[in-house]
Structure 1
Amino acid sequence: MHGFIPPERFFAYLTWTEIQAMSDKENTVIIQPIGAIEQHGPHLPIIVDSAISVGVLGTALSQLDARIPAYALPPLYYGKSNEHWHFPGTISLSAQTLLATLKEVAESIYRAGFRKLVFMNSHGGQPQVIEIIARDLHQEYSDFLVFPFFTWRVPHIAKEVLSAKELAMGIHGGDAETSIMLALLPEQVKMEQAVCEYPPELPPESLLSIEGKLPFAWVTKDLSKSGVIGDATTATRAKGDRILASVAKGWVRAIEDVYTFQIPKI
């Protein structure tokens, strides 16, 4: 059941009496991996975002100092994926359902005595939802420290192995995600069906962008026929191993920071 997560770090393997007896619950780091079940082109399974969350977290927890108490909750596989729902197989929650689910999970963790919760999100379509519920939870429970993290925002070496165009435009099912899936679940990657597809370019004088300071709302079928936004054909297992190792290392640092963090006093 624990998958990539080290069994001694898997929250669901604990008994209620073990949880009740824990010391230093206020600083114990509880991590909720959040992914999605959505299309990632013809070459990748629809579990990509969820697999990346659990794979990166498991790698990080296996390297984390054993003296730091940190536990992974069972992954939340479903997310807000309606930008992909024109492609068969995508399963999407509404923003309201995702907000309610995260709120109730978090409140359960709070009732158990824990005061530090990390939302580890690997799906690019829902950071805003997770930021909203994190702030609402802290506003309601002032001693509850909630961290709305995006998996890819820790330090990593992707810029060393990806092209400039891929770094700028490869936002879904491209080189990075395909490479890391070759490291995590190689038997589920169909490289013979990998494609390269970038969205049409906007006029060079335009201030607008797909993602950035002045984005426009889009769904995937507006940008891609295959469901891929990027170049999956250049992905390799060697790149994926390097990316996985570096992102996991960044997550070790992030968990360490959460463990010692306290809101600065004014």
Structure 2
Amino acid sequence: MLHSFIPPARFFPYLTWQDIAKMPNKQNVVIIQPIGAIEQHGLHLPIIVDSAISVAVLGKALSKLDVDIPAYALPNIYYGKSNEHWHFPGTITLTSQTLISLLMEVGESIYRAGFRKLVFMNSHGGQPQILELVARDLHIKYNDFCIFPLFTWRVPNIAKELLTPKELELGIHAGDAETSLMLAILPEQVKMTDAVTEYPQNLPTDSVLSMEGKLPFAWATKDLSQSGVIGDPTTATKEKGDRIWESLANGWVQTIKDIYKFQQPKTTN
């Protein structure tokens, strides 16, 4: 079905224009735009990983959400800015400028329909900065528009409790966490017999610089990995994936509740 993991009653495209026009309390209705990518994820995972995670986590969260809280999912944006992976066949990437334009125009359409709370729910690690730029620009353009540029994995969840210290530090792509989650979401598309472990070599040592973090350096995946994996997927299990999926969904339930109650801070005269 077109709604995939999203509960049909929470799928924005299933509404009519009259449903939208007559919707009460529209300024507090939470509209969520899931965003993923179509990019390589090693030898064992399909290129749909980030997009699948967005839709699956959001769908489970919306199925748990109190029916009295109005929240709707837009159709997933499958393509993202993935040029760090384009040396691997199958990766499809937008430019930064294209993604910025797309998200700006989606946001403006949502605002024009009368909504005032929009979440960008992003599952691809290569584009959070773009969402933050768009969110700021939309809010500057429309002062009463509340925009939330959020990363799927940053809500409260238990993933860190299930990973080794090395995987926590270096397992940033197609490693244990993503593979475990995909074993829960789309197990028939995971080829565990092809899973390989590969961590980056020759990273700066005794240095404040790192791949990601406060002082990062720019990189392409081919600089760090021959297989496309950055991490250890061989330790992944469906049991871990089920637990991660459940905890991410719970984290998103709380996040959506907080957004529903959120009021933009304002100075007082």
Both structures adopt the same fold (TM-score exceeding 0.5) = yes
Match of 2:155 in 1: 154
* 1:205 Cα deviation from its structure 2 partner: 1.2
Give yes or no for contact 2:204–2:210 (8 Å, CA) kept in 1: no
Q: Does 1:127 align with 2:124?
A: no
Q: Does 1:198 align with 2:199?
A: yes
* 1:264 Cα deviation from its structure 2 partner: 2.2
Unmatched 5+ stretches in structure 1:
none
Q: Does 1:254 align with 2:247?
A: no
Secondary structure at the aligned position of 2:26 is classed as: coil
Match of 2:168 in 1: 167
Q: TM-score, normalised by structure 2?
A: 0.98
* 1:37 Cα deviation from its structure 2 partner: 0.1
Q: TM-score, normalised by structure 1?
A: 0.99
Match of 1:224 in 2: 225
CA–CA distance in structure 1, aligned partners of residues 49 and 123 of structure 2: 9
CA–CA distance in structure 2, aligned partners of residues 60 and 139 of structure 1: 30
CA–CA distance in structure 2, aligned partners of residues 66 and 25 of structure 1: 16
* 1:221 Cα deviation from its structure 2 partner: 0.1
Match of 1:93 in 2: 94
CA–CA distance in structure 1, aligned partners of residues 231 and 186 of structure 2: 20
* 1:213 Cα deviation from its structure 2 partner: 1.2
CA–CA distance in structure 2, aligned partners of residues 241 and 154 of structure 1: 16
Unmatched 5+ stretches in structure 2:
none
* 1:214 Cα deviation from its structure 2 partner: 1.1
Give yes or no for contact 2:83–2:93 (8 Å, CA) kept in 1: yes
Secondary structure at the aligned position of 1:118 is classed as: strand
CA–CA distance in structure 1, aligned partners of residues 249 and 55 of structure 2: 11
Match of 2:44 in 1: 43
CA–CA distance in structure 2, aligned partners of residues 171 and 178 of structure 1: 11
1:40-89 CA-partner distances (Å, limit 9, x unpaired)? 00100000000000000000000000000000000000000000000000
CA–CA distance in structure 2, aligned partners of residues 26 and 264 of structure 1: 15
* 1:200 Cα deviation from its structure 2 partner: 1.0
Match of 1:10 in 2: 11
For 2:74, the aligned partner's letter is L
For 2:23, the aligned partner's letter is M
Match of 2:118 in 1: 117
The count of aligned residue pairs is 266
* 1:201 Cα deviation from its structure 2 partner: 4.2
CA–CA distance in structure 2, aligned partners of residues 82 and 152 of structure 1: 21
Secondary structure at the aligned position of 1:262 is classed as: coil
CA–CA distance in structure 2, aligned partners of residues 87 and 120 of structure 1: 25
For 2:230, the aligned partner's letter is I
